[in-house]
Homo-oligomer: A and B are copies of this chain.
Amino acid sequence: MGIARGALLTDQYQLTMAQLYFRYGLHEREARFEHFFRKNPDYGDHESGYAVNAGWGWLGRWAARSRFGEEERAALLSHAADGHRLFDADFVDWLGEVSWDALRYETIPEGRVVHPNVPITVVEGPLGVAQLLETSLLNHLNFHILIATKAARVVGVARGGRVLEFGLRRGPDEGGIAATRAAFIGGADASSNVGISHEMGILPQGTHAHSMVQVFMALGEGELGAFRAYAEMYPDECLLLVDTIDTLESGIPNAITVFEELRKKGHHPLGIRLDSGDLAHLAVRASQMLDGAGFDDVAIVLSSSLDELTMFQILTQIAEEAPRYGEDADRVIGRLVYGVGTKMITSDGQPYLDGVYKLVAIDGDGEWRPAIKVSDTPAKMVNPGRKVVRRLYDQRGLANVDLMSLADEDLAYPLQIHHHHETGISRTLEQARVSEVEQLLEKALLEPPVDDPAVVSEARIRRVADLERLDPGVKRLVNPHVYHVSITRRLADLKRDLAANAR
């Protein structure tokens, strides 16, 4: 497998910095890094009002197989610039002893709804080790969150219809594997991706492609021959792709013929799949034709460039068009299944999350000192210090604000809370308006989940629960309401003072 997937899945500067810390005796000094993102995914013509946290268990898998072993150390020792070695033997020996268990972790559990600028992963421990973890942590978590969020949006418009992840063929190389797991956390019900589905204990889904129909056509048996062969092979899982020749003129009539043959033999066909053309119109017409033949309970799977906006538009069009064909729109919609591929697995429109991993505190000879990175852009100034994050719920029981405070700070009502970076904006929160206060960060171990299917399954439950407690305006597909992310007065003051000192 080579050395690309293990501990050297990192950026070169993590190693040069680690060696510098090692040389100056700083590598074992306690430091705290926080991982957060600055903006929800913005897909160009629409944007998300929230994100779904994901990836911790996946990062744990990486960590378990990633040590600076012999091969890795040999590669680093071979790195010579201008003829002299970049990494010294004593540093490389030290790398051989590095263990991710030397660090302490807190994370917001997978599946939970998370918001910009709030630490979602916290890493504390020896500076050298914490620095070495940065790249892989960001690589794995940022992408997982990105895809889980996209999937949650897609699932959110499906009105309970099953969502199948179909994107592997155009996914980002083997990043497509992580994407499938993340899509499960975001709410996809199943995937076509076989290996990871089995690993996650979710049966992979899929029937046949156009090529199967083409084979039978080229051999003179036509679409009907292909459908018959498929029905004979899979009499109880018969789902037929009907657009290889002509959906309305050939595919659906042939499917109905075969379904009738199955019915006579006591089998129950599963459905048809529409993969091209005007999916909304075809879904209505297909529903009408299937109903006419007495197949009013078989599914209609839609696929072809679906994303949350397209699906929303299709459902809107069905509501308008179904009555014209004597069909009940809700019933048509109720039989739909969505095969969502490329645009979900690549988070089309916003193919990355801008997550960062920032130093916020370091041990200054026995006491924690807050660290800051100033910036001309106030939104990019890091919230310094060791922090805790609380989610406050309002009297309706809906999440109202994610509040960052310093770790050694007690909250006292009425709370004076400030916008996380705009200095002029603050408000006062009376205790009576707060129905519940919840700590978001939990202690965690960085290790492969003993039972990852259970981890994913619990994450799905958390996502559903959190989305139920999120204001509908924040969940809007387009132009969502902005969720409050705030900091306490003391944190705001600390930030201001540190920034002034740095300059």
Residues of chain A at the chain B interface (Cβ within 8 Å)? 1-17, 19-21, 23-24, 26, 31, 33, 44, 58, 65, 72, 75, 78-79, 81-82, 84, 86, 127, 131, 134-135, 138-140, 142-144, 166, 168-179, 192-199, 203-212, 214-215, 217-220, 229-230, 233-234, 236-237, 244-246, 276-277, 342, 346-348, 351-355, 357-359, 361-362, 364, 369-377, 380, 502-503
Contacts and interface: CB of A to CB of B under 8 A. Distances in A.
Contacts of A179: 172-173
A67 to B, nearest CB: 13
Contact of A81 (B173, B237, B373): B237
Nearest to A220: B364
B218 A351 contact: no
A13 B192 contact: yes
Contacts of A2: 195-196, 199
B218 A371 contact: yes
Given A11-B166, A13-B206, A372-B214, A237 B351 contact: no
A276 B376 contact: yes
Contacts of A237: 81-82, 86
5 closest cross-chain pairs (CB), A and B: A175-B175, A12-B206, A8-B195, A13-B206, A172-B172
A44 B351 CA distance: 13
Contacts of A82: 236-237
Given A203-B81, A211-B358, A3 B198 contact: yes
Given A353-B170, A374-B245, A78 B198 contact: yes
Given A194-B8, A246-B503, A208 B172 contact: no
A44 B135 CA distance: 29
A404 to B, nearest CB: 19
Nearest to A7: B195
Contacts of A194: 8-12, 15, 75
B362 A219 contact: yes
Nearest to A181: B4
A179 B9 CA distance: 13
A416 to B, nearest CB: 27
A342 B354 CA distance: 9
Contacts of A205: 12
Contact of A373 (B72, B207, B214): B214
Nearest to A143: B173
Most B C-beta atoms less than 10 A away, residue of A234, A351, A369? A351
